[in-house]
Structure 1
């Protein structure tokens, strides 16, 4: 079947990020429910099987080869083994969960990013072009700065927030190429630790002095120690920057390329559907890795301790089809773009709130938008648009 406009752009975007990525994700079509591939490990593109693995901490871990915890332990230290997947993980999640409720996330985004998004609405209404990819990075940078109590000399200057975003981007980029192995070279670890020190330099003071209604102050009030708070800060920078900005720009492009923005403008109450479909189709983290910690039988195959499993979440989430505002709830895929189980993305409500606020800002213009220029991000960890300039029709 021929690809439609939206699917063609998504495929090109994936290829621009890493040329081998579309090949891997296409292989996933033949990996249902699970299949072993030499040099890569076990590939899973079936959402039910992926969820079964992600919900089985007895046999799978993110701390072994192939898991993100294994990667970050080399950078952040051995305490990650406890906080990510050990006894301390439940405590950390339990204490941090109330920081990211739907209401708290919506209030955070409205307070921190609302004025900047109002500027976007006004600029478009005045006939200007707006780079949504850049705006997404700025919005995310503002959220991160507020959450981590980062000092910004010129609070109204977008450049400061681009710098914050790019810091997280540089750290995440060090994982580029870890699909084959999560063992990092010594030089990469040293570079990552330098960036982490730069990112967390002000966390200690903010953790002591921040008011209780801000993230770091709340961490203190909830009993999270400085070490855990610094680790949470790093994870927010890495996991919550590129993925959120990617989903924002790509969803705006999908709404344009599928002409769904016309429906959404006529039925603005469907924003939640647009957000869910945008996250499903883009799945900004297209692959989730785990290590087999104990021999186990999955979907009729025997997986042995020490082997790797790659959940091809992009393939699994896109199997039902392209972007469609009328698509019914998919129970097998539910929120798989945020992972599953006890490692479901803690910041998921913030990502949804950011995307919702952006779409509301665009709808507030009262007119449809057109894409003036688009450029794919090249050699990036998270597939994204480097530039997506829009104007009103």
Structure 2
């Protein structure tokens, strides 16, 4: 891993650019090379072996909203990967009415108010403990904290066995292991789940040119899935109606399909959430703009939006062309694959700047668009906000003591990001 010691207080956008580039290069060199090459193409271009590549935010949103011509279950879409692991029922779910039904039934779990309640319940005690450590002059590893916090939040939301409430209570059939919310051994279990998710996501690193998985990779992936879903069978039977697994049971979704959805949500809720949070913390520091936020706390929503825009934890979204269609003046044929380079589409608006007004062209493209728009958008924003509030609680800027970029990961992120106050 790449380690950097910070001995002075940075304040330039160029520093932020260098660190972001290093994250991409260290984490996923194939992704880095693709993004660099695509900077030289037009809004939509055909690339040998990869298919169509889109770098324009308006065209990307059009593709994501056009469910008649573009799908997830065919070659090129993430649903194709999941179908190989969990069977044809998963492919039917991605494009069928049951997917819309689940989103409708679960929507109340993802409102702004529900997001605040969920984050406070599953993570609040940890933020308070982190703030106390910083106030005492200690150093905290934000990257490690994001992994633990993301694991706790997803376990709570899904209804998996574990700490459901910060005070150790449980309701609606959810479970508790009786441990204190800051118990290190409990945190280790969430670190292990996060690491398993990284391993599973890492198996998809070679699928940019094709989403067909060889048999040995499928076998390895299923072993990791068993590790991630070890508590799903029990939770499916007992989880309360205020959880995703409880809603799946009420809908009559079978256990195999529910295990697939659990795996998908576990990765989507941990890998991208941890990346977006730690990178926003670093961007605010590396550009010196935490001073602006300290001076004007009303800029918090802008800071969170800008961090997620620039980091774009889901830098590429794949789709399968279901039928002939014209996009941006180019004719796409049935069976083609298309890669939406959301990282370039989002960053085309300019560098990180918490004073930037809302950009309608990008909107929330870092969360996707259409019927597969990330349900947890409000939860992600709340998590990032809560982390920044914790780090800036003392009214003084924080300082990055050292950092390490994660190596060989699908979602570029920090392996460690050590921070202190002052």
- Please tell me the TM-score bracket, short chain as reference: over 0.9
Counterparts of 2:96 and 2:242, CA distance in 1: 29
What does residue 285 of structure 1 align with?
A: 314
What does residue 7 of structure 2 align with?
A: none
Alignment of 1:317-356 (within 5 A): 317-356=346-385
Q: 1:133 aligns with which of 135, 143, 165?
A: 143
Matched, 1:255 2:284: yes
What does residue 114 of structure 1 align with?
A: 124
Offset of residue 231 of structure 1 = 2.7
Offset of residue 221 of structure 1 = 4.2
Q: 1:83 aligns with which of 89, 93, 106?
A: 93
Counterparts of 2:108 and 2:364, CA distance in 1: 19
Offset of residue 20 of structure 1 = 2.9
User: 2:159·2:240 contact (CA, 8 Å) conserved in 1?
Assistant: no
Matched, 1:272 2:298: no
What does residue 165 of structure 2 align with?
A: none
Offset of residue 131 of structure 1 = 0.7
User: 2:13·2:351 contact (CA, 8 Å) conserved in 1?
Assistant: no
What does residue 52 of structure 1 align with?
A: 62
- Could you list the per-position Cα deviations for residues 134-192 of structure 1 after superposition, in whole angstroms to 9, with x for gaps in the alignment? 11111101112222333345452221221121122222111111111111111111121
What does residue 66 of structure 1 align with?
A: 76
Offset of residue 216 of structure 1 = 2.5
What secondary structure, in the 3-state scheme, does the structure 2 residue paired with 1:241 have? Answer: helix
Counterparts of 1:276 and 1:22, CA distance in 2: 23
User: 2:105·2:247 contact (CA, 8 Å) conserved in 1?
Assistant: no
Stretches of 4+ moved more than 3 A in 1?
A: 148-155, 218-229
Matched, 1:357 2:367: no
Moved more, 263-272 or 107-116: 263-272
Unpaired stretches in structure 2, ≥5 consecutive residues: 1-11, 163-176
User: 1:75·1:193 contact (CA, 8 Å) conserved in 2?
Assistant: yes
Counterparts of 2:81 and 2:242, CA distance in 1: 32
Q: 2:112 aligns with which of 79, 83, 102?
A: 102
What does residue 15 of structure 1 align with?
A: 25
Query: Normalization by structure 1: what TM-score?
Result: 0.95
Offset of residue 29 of structure 1 = 2.4
Matched, 1:309 2:338: yes
Offset of residue 34 of structure 1 = 0.5
Moved more, 197-206 or 238-247: 197-206
What does residue 377 of structure 1 align with?
A: 406
What secondary structure, in the 3-state scheme, does the structure 2 residue paired with 1:30 have? Answer: coil
User: 1:136·1:248 contact (CA, 8 Å) conserved in 2?
Assistant: yes
User: 1:92·1:224 contact (CA, 8 Å) conserved in 2?
Assistant: no
What does residue 263 of structure 2 align with?
A: 234
